[in-house]
Structure 1
Amino acid sequence: MSGEPRRVFRRYVAVGDSFTEGIDDPDPATPGRHRGWADRLAEVLDADARAAGGRLEYANLAVRGRKLGQVVAEQLDTAVSLHPDLVSFCAGGNDILRPGTDVDALATDLDNAVARLRAVGADVLLATGFDPGGLPVVRWTRGRVAAFNLHVWSIAQRHDALVLDLWSMRALYDARLWAPDRIHLAPEGHARVALLAAATVRGLHGGALGAAEREWAAPLPPHPAPGRVARARADAQWARTYLAPWVRRRIEGRSSGDGVTAKRPEPLPLDG
């Protein structure tokens, strides 16, 4: 209800893969590190905590390339041990990109993880998959993404969790919100997802949304669409630069996350 006071979170833990690690959103304060929507959400939540006379402690355990089962195996125990009052759990995209993935099995693992987090009193923010219908090559995963999203909504309803609804985020049909690899978000994409996440988290507990939080849906200024030849050249360049190395890693059993550890393993104030 709109008359209820806004919930102030004191400890937020983000778990997941490259989406939550923030790939392709360079952190200006730390060269070589990524910022991302979860860091940006933490800044909003910290402002709420400061207004209430406290501070937010924030940990980000996400690691690029991780599949959902790996996120559960490597990050869930740690997340529980940190005693968060908010956890974002966004995973499954790397599984869905692989042919033959059992979406129902993914949903079972996600359901169990959410149940465990809710059992320790944490609010949980899940995320649907993006609609890949407008993206070359990965558009063939659209049916699996849609099936997984139905599971996400069902799990959220069952456990009283929140859903960051990326499938319905029409602004993401604009290629300018995506990084050159067409898999990760550009900085503006991460910024808009953070605004939608803030609106989602704050909306659960009431309180009017600020104008800035509504900007996630605003269309970008018009720009001329590339012609057929330009699109074909861009698609060929993308296949050489990004698709071929991805396929090669799959064949060789390697991951972009090999040797990578969590960028923020401890819950600390944002300036800590």
Structure 2
Amino acid sequence: MRIRRYVAIGDSCAEGIDDPYPDGRGYRGWTDLAAGELARVSPSLEYANLAVRGRRLDQILTEQVPLAVAHRPDLVTLFGGGNDVLQGRWQTMARSLDEIVATMAEVADTMVLLTLPDIARLPGLGRLRPRVTRLNDLITETAAKYGTLLVDVRDDEYCHDERLYSADRLHLGPLGHHRVAAHVLTALDQEPDPAWLAPLPPAAREPVWRTAVGHWTWVRQHVYPAVHDTIRNKLSGRQPGDGFVAKRPEPGPFTPAP
């Protein structure tokens, strides 16, 4: 498959949060990794990334989709819905997802949708499992309805392995971004770097006290600040991601990382 123009839309995972470039020039993520491999096959590839952290599906629809349509891409990837789950925005979620996919499927030859991992694996978030399941069912049904490609991250045997995630245990870390990029490339009939899907060594077993300390550190450094920010945003009328912009708003040549 030769792709001339690739546009990524979505939220923080599509933006590449918590997978920084080694030289500190921003976040990389699975979209940059996939674009780099596609550019090796198609050196004239142009790539844009319109994803912005914190964005819900209704915001992706109104803010990113019109720009994506104007770019006339051959390939579109969408990773989104996690913020809808966290905010319980069921009223608009299904309608927004359907409109996003219907609109982009009319423009792009190929579109890839991705499911979400089960965030109920995190302590205290078990109540969110039905929401995540509902979202993933919706994504799967929408992909079938419009004939898009689907990457179901739950098919990866390491999907819930903590080593794939960053310190906040919610966003992917570098290892997770590489694995998602490999799954996307495979869906596009491209051969990913085998190292990106290499089996992980057995996880080291930690004593109970160390696990407990790890949970407390996670709550103190990530959960409490996130709850505080959520309350502050509600009181001020702000939304997560306000003030941030897309990292690659215009399609342009993309040089694969060495």
Q: Which residue of 2 aligns with 1:4?
A: none
1:141-156 equivalence runs, <5 A: 141-156=128-143
Match of 1:165 among 120, 133, 152: 152
| Secondary structure in structure 2 of the residue aligned to 1:268 | strand
TM-superposed CA distance for 1:71, in Å, is: 1.0
Q: Which residue of 1 aligns with 2:182?
A: 195
TM-superposed CA distance for 1:213, in Å, is: 5.1
Q: Which residue of 2 aligns with 1:138?
A: 125
How far apart, CA to CA, are the structure 2 residues paired with 1:144 and 1:187? 26
CA separation of 1:108 and 1:256: change in aligned 2, threshold 3 A:
closer
TM-score by length of 1: 0.87
| Secondary structure in structure 1 of the residue aligned to 2:58 | helix
Q: Per-residue CA shift, 1:40-61, capped at 9, x if unaligned?
A: 00011111213xxxx1100001
Cα pair 1:196 1:214 within 8 Å, conserved: no
Match of 1:246 among 199, 223, 226: 226
1:171-210 equivalence runs, <5 A: 171-202=158-189, 210=191
In the alignment, is residue 264 of structure 1 matched against residue 245 of structure 2? Answer: no
How far apart, CA to CA, are the structure 2 residues paired with 1:214 and 1:236? 33
> Where does the alignment leave 5 or more consecutive residues of structure 1 unmatched?
1-6, 203-208
TM-superposed CA distance for 1:65, in Å, is: 0.9
Match of 2:89 among 83, 94, 101: 101
TM-superposed CA distance for 1:129, in Å, is: 1.0
How far apart, CA to CA, are the structure 1 residues paired with 2:161 and 2:99? 35
In the alignment, is residue 212 of structure 1 matched against residue 193 of structure 2? Answer: yes
How far apart, CA to CA, are the structure 1 residues paired with 2:70 and 2:89? 30
| Secondary structure in structure 2 of the residue aligned to 1:170 | coil
How far apart, CA to CA, are the structure 2 residues paired with 1:200 and 1:95? 26
Q: Which residue of 2 aligns with 1:80?
A: 69
Match of 1:117 among 89, 104, 107: 104
Cα pair 2:76 2:108 within 8 Å, conserved: no
Cα pair 2:58 2:92 within 8 Å, conserved: no
How far apart, CA to CA, are the structure 1 residues paired with 2:160 and 2:206? 15
Q: Which residue of 1 aligns with 2:206?
A: 226
Q: Per-residue CA shift, 1:220-250, capped at 9, x if unaligned?
A: 1123222221111111111111111111111
More moved, 158-167 vs 130-139? 130-139
Q: Per-residue CA shift, 1:192-238, capped at 9, x if unaligned?
A: 11001100122xxxxxx64735852x431123222221111111111
Amino acid at match of 2:52: V
Of all paired residues, the percent bearing the same amino acid is: 40
> Where does the alignment leave 5 or more consecutive residues of structure 2 unmatched?
none
How far apart, CA to CA, are the structure 1 residues paired with 2:26 and 2:98? 31
Amino acid at match of 2:122: L
How far apart, CA to CA, are the structure 1 residues paired with 2:97 and 2:192? 33
CA separation of 1:257 and 1:228: change in aligned 2, threshold 3 A:
same
TM-score by length of 2: 0.91
| Secondary structure in structure 2 of the residue aligned to 1:171 | coil
TM-superposed CA distance for 1:73, in Å, is: 1.1
Match of 1:45 among 22, 35, 38: 38
| Secondary structure in structure 2 of the residue aligned to 1:58 | strand
How far apart, CA to CA, are the structure 2 residues paired with 1:220 and 1:179? 16
CA separation of 1:211 and 1:74: change in aligned 2, threshold 3 A:
closer
